[in-house]
A = this chain, B = another copy of it.
Amino acid sequence: MSHMKDVLRNRLILLSHDEAGRRLARIRSLMERAGMRGMLVSDNANKYYLTGRVFAGYVYIPISGEAIYFVRRPVELDGDGVVYIRKPEEITLSIGLGMPETIGLELDTAPYSLIKRLRLIFPGSEIANASALLRNARSIKTDAEIDMIRRSGIKHRHVYSRIPRLFRPGMSDMELQVEIERLSRLEGCLGQFRISGDSMELYMGNVLAGENADAPSPYDFAMGGAGADPSLPVGADGTLIVPGTTVMVDMNGNFDGYMTDMTRVFSPESGKLPELALKAHQCSIDIHRALTDMMRPGTEAKALWQRAEEIVKERDLHPYYMGHRQHAGFIGHGVGIEINELPVIAPRSRDIIQAGNVIALEPKFVIPRVGAVGIENTYAVHADRVECLTNSPEEIVYFDL
């Protein structure tokens, strides 16, 4: 934590000069291509991407010239281009005569009322959607970003390696989850689970035991669970962890603002899981092998989804794949500052795998009366290879009774 105090001087931009420049350059090349002459960024995840910190305010990026950082809170930040404002209308004064013909705004995440207000700052400008552009820019990570995700992965794996020691016979899914939460937090997990858009909600991750894995949830996560209360209907619901059933652990790996996504399966006592569950778990591992062999720059995301589909069908596991009573529509997704980044590995995805993508693959199965099986790993795509950032044993781990 003292790290924070060292870097948290008053400098607004906490990234190195070169790193900030690289990110800005990537965004500007996409702006150029889209004919977007200026962009005003308000989303916390995007501001963090641009500056290495979260602040209340806006970043204005003209297609050329210096970016301007309009800050409302906190007090006392400084640096080139920092301008304090009380309300967005004051932005007009600083931009002055350089009004862009087309202004990019985050139309997919910013509320309608905010966009309506921001439009008035740029009365002569056409508005364009900066959300898709920024999602694209962020889908190709810089080396420094991959390094942060790698570091989160190391801590994430370390927490997972200690899960068997947290189990006590008679525990419920929720009791196990709470102990994993505690361990993660003591290892430095920030807890905050950033999801783009506000319709998906989850607290710290998902521990799914036995039959509860088959409870459908309203959220667009790969797996469901009834949850402890109808106000947050996902994940653990108090199911006891008993022999012959599985516990799928898919817990938060956000240790430094960038996250890994990782799932492993546990079960009390060895040798009691039905053959179908073991077969499906092995199938998930095999899909990981097959897809990481294909996951090279230039591959279509939908081809990965298709290949997994073939493997599942060859093995007659389709009724259990990505859910049983309810099925998820994707088997992988980009991950970084948020858990739902590009590319999306889904049947109608138009994404193409690129070097710098960081992708979580999660081919999973729900076996009725047994629970969820399958693993999730986070991979960095390099020009010539795929690097697993959550490398650790993939077999089902049996808890001592």
On A, residues with C-beta under 8 Å from B are: 1-5, 7-8, 14, 42-44, 48, 52-57, 72-76, 105, 107-116, 129, 131, 172, 174-175, 177-179, 181-182, 185-186, 188, 190-192, 194, 197-199, 201-204, 215-220, 224, 226-233, 237-238, 256-258, 325-326, 337
Contacts and interface: CB of A to CB of B under 8 A. Distances in A.
Contacts of A42: 199
A131 B231 CA distance: 20
A62 B202 CA distance: 31
Contacts of A72: 218
Contacts of A114: 112
Contact of A112 (B2, B5, B107): B107
A202 to B, nearest CB: 8
A9 to B, nearest CB: 11
Contacts of A14: 230
A119 to B, nearest CB: 10
A216 B75 contact: yes
A7 B76 CA distance: 51
Contact of A226 (B5, B55, B111): B5
Contacts of A197: 111
Contacts of A257: 229-232
B178 A1 contact: no
B220 A73 contact: yes
A227 B190 CA distance: 9
A224 B74 CA distance: 9
14 contacts: A1-B174, A4-B228, A4-B238, A8-B230, A48-B230, A53-B233, A54-B201, A73-B216, A105-B112, A190-B203, A190-B229, A190-B232, A192-B201, A232-B257
A120 to B, nearest CB: 14
Given A74-B326, A216-B74, A219-B73, A48 B203 contact: no
Contacts of A190: 203, 228-229, 231-232
B325 A75 contact: yes
User: Which 4 A-B residue pairings sit nearest by Cβ, starting from the closest?
Assistant: A1-B238, A231-B257, A191-B203, A74-B216
A88 to B, nearest CB: 12
Given A44-B198, A217-B73, A228 B110 contact: no
Residue among A52, A55, A229, A337 with max Cβ neighbours from chain B (10 Å): A229
A332 to B, nearest CB: 19
B110 A131 contact: no
Given A14-B230, A74-B224, A190-B231, 17 more contacts: A1-B228, A1-B237, A2-B238, A4-B228, A8-B233, A56-B218, A72-B218, A73-B220, A74-B216, A109-B111, A110-B112, A112-B112, A113-B129, A178-B186, A191-B203, A192-B202, A192-B231
